Structure 1
Amino acid sequence: MINGLDTYKKKWNIQTEAAIKPGLHAITAALKELGNPHQKGTFIHIAGTNGKGSTATFLASILREHGLSVGNFFSPEIEDLHDQIQINGEPIPEEEMDRTMNRLASLRTPLTDFELLTAAAFLIFSEHPLDAVIIEAGMGGRFDSTNVIDPFLSIIPSISMEHTAFLGDTLEEIAWHKAGIIKKWKPVVVGNLPEAAMAVVNENADKLHSEVIKAKEPITVELKLKGEHQIRNAQLAVEAAKEILLLTFEPEKANAGLSKASIPFRFEELYPGLVLDAAHNVESVEALIQTVKEQFPTKEIHFVVGILKDKNYKEILRKLEAISDRFTFISFESERALEANTLFEESRSKIKTIQNQYDILPVQGINVMTIVTGSMNLLSILRNDKFKVFANYKSAAR
């Protein structure tokens, strides 16, 4: 479910499916009806298990600092579909989205929800004078609806096990999907990938005569996005920016862009005692744990957790339980959400409760950090209801 999309679908009588249907046939046909807006502009394509949104945000900030006008397509939403499509860091206004959906209502090609939003993004970007457009793949890469572009370069920040029902149950299979965004003669910037995944990426890059670029520049500025993993994402953004800007690249402006970059739910301390982090799989949970240890070495940790069904929730719980014995589990409104009861029964924590997402999260005490984590869908719901949910923390922060 894409938050806010149903409003436009109902208004303009647009019929789409919420199901995930990997493949490029439908989106290609729909974009042809629209005059192929995805063929206009300089695109950067990002696919990977974790780090896509952060890398895209770092890169956009660097490019804007150099005077470029930049579009971003993020997946999933933070609050609703408007912030998935951004121009120079600003979400698309409702009026523009409304005009775009009106145009899309005449499409003859049946689409899924995500394909519809992808088409909307390309249409909107084609109508703005943009120097660069950064596109984040929704799932996988090779058969993701965003993979209709011929990008200037591609970026793969990380690869680990995810979406096994769609992408395969081995690291090599998943890497094959991610490597599908690599295009002939176009460079690909890669993060520190597992050996098996790197071999697949190298094989695909070799076949396409694509240069593989690895991050190597140290990051010397303070980042708003915390954690060692964010330093690696920032390094990828710098390498990509060098390729895009060439002789106009200025290290000082790159550092300024990195230092300004921020994104909700990336270890975001919303109020004293309350952190939101969209760690949704084993790899991102490991990064979260490392950051918790770095930032709050003396604090007791209280996790509030909601996870999607297709995630490895058992291993995620074991990781989180290694640094905390206090949990609150939440069911939230999504067809893909895992029931809180399942998490409660699987948890080995001694202090655990189940709570409705619309309840006020309790302040746990002066020496306790509450960290809300798991699905981005959950964090979006809490964000939209934040004046009620986070009331105690807001009062405590004053």
Structure 2
Amino acid sequence: MIKGLDHYVFKWKINTNSEIIPGLKAISSALEELGNPHQQGKFVHIAGTNGKGSTATLLAGILRAHGMTVGNFYSPAIEDVHDQIQIDGMPISPAEMDVSMEHLKAINTPLTEFELLTAAAFLAFAKWAPDVTIIEAGMGGRFDSTNVIDPVVSIITSIALDHTNFLGETIEDIAWHKAGIIKKWKPAVIGNLPEPAKKVVYETAASLHAEVIEPHKPVEAPLKLKGKHQRYNAALAVEAAKEILLLAFDEAKAEAGLADAGIPNRFEEIYPNVIFDGAHNTQSIQALVETIKETYPDKKIHIVMGLLKDKNYITILRQLEQVSDHFTFIEFKHERALPAKILFEENISKIKTIQNIYDILPVQEENEVTIVTGSLYLLSNLRETSLSIFDNYKSTL
């Protein structure tokens, strides 16, 4: 379910394929009908369980600081489908999306929603012609519809158990999918991967004569994005930028670009003492817990959350209970949303409630911070309504 895409599908009467068939046959056929827009320009491909969006934003910041124009394809949406396709940080306009969709209406190959959006993105980037386009894989990598490009560098940010119903039950299975974005003779930058995953990645790279670049130290330059894990994401972005810029890479410009890079829903304070963070699996939740401890060591923490059904919700609850005994569980609109009642019953905190998504208001207790987390889909649903609710609530005080 891609928020806002249905408007264009209906408007242009585009036939979509509801059945997800692994592989690149359909997207490749559709792109060929469109004149192969994915073969125009210079690309970076990013896969990983966590950290893709942040790394993509940090890399874009570095490249823009060097005077380059940069396209970004993100997944999933922050607010709606438009912010998934960006040029120099600006979302695609409805008029520009219409241009892509008008072309897609004419093709004969039926596509899934994500394939359709991927094709629309490639059409937009071909028209904009940025110096570099950073493409974030939707899920996995090897069979993801984005894996039709030949990038100058690939990035694998992290590998952990997630989407196991699609990608497999073991770290090795998931690593095989992520490693599928590595291309022959092209370098791959990788994060701190578990040893079984690293073995798969190195074996895949060796078979393709691809150099593996593995930064071992976090970036210590100032970052707008909070948390130790973001400093490691920044290290990946720096190494990828070096592969793109070569002798033109400038350390001072890179630091300036990193300091300026921000992304919604990554420990973002949307209102005083109200933080949105898109952590949604055990690995990213642990990073969130560490960031909370580092940023708010003396504050009481109120966790507001909702999760998808395929997440390890019991482990996630135990992790968050390390920093809070005050939880609010909420329902949100998604076909895979986990009922709030299940989270309520499993939580062992002293204070817990179930609330409607529209009932969340900023806390008035001076020493408490609210962290809204658990799903990027939740934050997408909540973002627009919560901002207006908070503003209205403030005016009554």
Tell whether the 8 Å contact from 1:44 to 1:134 is kept in structure 2 after alignment: yes
**Superposition map of 1:241-280 within 5 A:** 241-280=241-280
**Superposition map of 1:180-219 within 5 A:** 180-216=180-216, 219=219
Equivalent residue letter for 1:382: L
TM-score, normalised by the number of residues in structure 1: 0.97
Tell me: CA distance 1:327–1:171, structure 2 relative to 1, closer, same or farther (3 Å). Answer: same
- With 6-15 and 132-141 compared, the bigger mean Cα shift is at 6-15
Q: How far apart in 2 are the matches of 1:21 and 1:264?
A: 31
Equivalent residue letter for 1:43: F
Q: How far apart in 2 are the matches of 1:361 and 1:339?
A: 21
Tell whether the 8 Å contact from 1:63 to 1:257 is kept in structure 2 after alignment: yes
**Superposition map of 1:371-390 within 5 A:** 371-390=371-390
SS in 2 for 1:135: strand
User: 1:348, CA displacement in angstroms?
Assistant: 1.5
Q: How far apart in 1 are the matches of 2:65 and 2:82?
A: 23
Q: How far apart in 1 are the matches of 2:368 and 2:129?
A: 48
For 1:300, the equivalent position in structure 2 comes to 300
SS in 2 for 1:46: strand
SS in 1 for 2:327: strand
Q: How far apart in 2 are the matches of 1:196 and 1:283?
A: 16
Tell whether the 8 Å contact from 2:156 to 2:188 is kept in structure 1 after alignment: yes
Tell whether the 8 Å contact from 1:100 to 1:124 is kept in structure 2 after alignment: yes
SS in 2 for 1:79: coil
Q: How far apart in 1 are the matches of 2:125 and 2:376?
A: 25
User: 1:216, CA displacement in angstroms?
Assistant: 4.3
Q: How far apart in 1 are the matches of 2:317 and 2:137?
A: 27
For 1:11, the equivalent position in structure 2 comes to 11
For 1:148, the equivalent position in structure 2 comes to 148
2:60 pairs with 1:60: yes
Tell whether the 8 Å contact from 1:224 to 1:262 is kept in structure 2 after alignment: yes
Q: How far apart in 2 are the matches of 1:99 and 1:48?
A: 31
Tell whether the 8 Å contact from 1:273 to 1:393 is kept in structure 2 after alignment: no
Equivalent residue letter for 1:49: T
User: 1:379, CA displacement in angstroms?
Assistant: 0.4
User: 1:57, CA displacement in angstroms?
Assistant: 0.3
Q: How far apart in 2 are the matches of 1:394 and 1:135?
A: 39
Equivalent residue letter for 2:293: K
2:117 pairs with 1:117: yes
Equivalent residue letter for 2:317: L
**Deviations, residues 227-282 of structure 1 (Å, cap 9, x unaligned):** 00000000000000001000000000000000000000000011211000000000
For 2:79, the equivalent position in structure 1 comes to 79
Tell me: CA distance 1:65–1:362, structure 2 relative to 1, closer, same or farther (3 Å). Answer: closer
SS in 2 for 1:239: helix
SS in 2 for 1:303: strand
**Deviations, residues 161-193 of structure 1 (Å, cap 9, x unaligned):** 000000000000000000000011000000010
2:358 pairs with 1:347: no
User: 1:365, CA displacement in angstroms?
Assistant: 1.1
SS in 2 for 1:358: helix
Tell me: CA distance 1:113–1:323, structure 2 relative to 1, closer, same or farther (3 Å). Answer: same
**Deviations, residues 118-173 of structure 1 (Å, cap 9, x unaligned):** 00001110111211110000000000000011111100010000000000000000
Tell whether the 8 Å contact from 1:45 to 1:136 is kept in structure 2 after alignment: yes
SS in 1 for 2:358: coil
For 1:320, the equivalent position in structure 2 comes to 320
Number of residue equivalences: 397
Equivalent residue letter for 1:78: I
User: 1:395, CA displacement in angstroms?
Assistant: 5.3
Q: How far apart in 1 are the matches of 2:394 and 2:85?
A: 29
Tell whether the 8 Å contact from 2:217 to 2:232 is kept in structure 1 after alignment: no
Tell whether the 8 Å contact from 1:22 to 1:145 is kept in structure 2 after alignment: no
For 2:359, the equivalent position in structure 1 comes to 359
SS in 2 for 1:256: helix
Equivalent residue letter for 1:326: H
Identity rate, percent: 65
**Deviations, residues 179-232 of structure 1 (Å, cap 9, x unaligned):** 000011000000010111100100100100110001146523211100000000
SS in 2 for 1:304: strand
**Superposition map of 1:29-108 within 5 A:** 29-108=29-108
TM-score, normalised by the number of residues in structure 2: 0.97
Q: How far apart in 2 are the matches of 1:262 and 1:362?
A: 23
User: 1:15, CA displacement in angstroms?
Assistant: 2.1
Tell whether the 8 Å contact from 1:274 to 1:393 is kept in structure 2 after alignment: no
Equivalent residue letter for 2:338: L
2:139 pairs with 1:157: no
User: 1:391, CA displacement in angstroms?
Assistant: 3.7
User: 1:113, CA displacement in angstroms?
Assistant: 0.4
Mind listing any 5+ residue stretches in structure 2 that lack a counterpart?
Answer: none
Equivalent residue letter for 1:83: D
Q: How far apart in 2 are the matches of 1:367 and 1:392?
A: 22
Q: How far apart in 1 are the matches of 2:113 and 2:193?
A: 31
User: 1:392, CA displacement in angstroms?
Assistant: 6.8
Tell whether the 8 Å contact from 1:307 to 1:374 is kept in structure 2 after alignment: yes
Tell me: CA distance 1:3–1:19, structure 2 relative to 1, closer, same or farther (3 Å). Answer: farther
User: 1:393, CA displacement in angstroms?
Assistant: 7.0
User: 1:390, CA displacement in angstroms?
Assistant: 2.7
**Deviations, residues 26-80 of structure 1 (Å, cap 9, x unaligned):** 1011101101111111110000000000000000110011111110000000001
- With 269-278 and 225-234 compared, the bigger mean Cα shift is at 269-278
- With 17-26 and 205-214 compared, the bigger mean Cα shift is at 17-26
Equivalent residue letter for 2:327: F
Equivalent residue letter for 2:244: I
Equivalent residue letter for 1:35: G
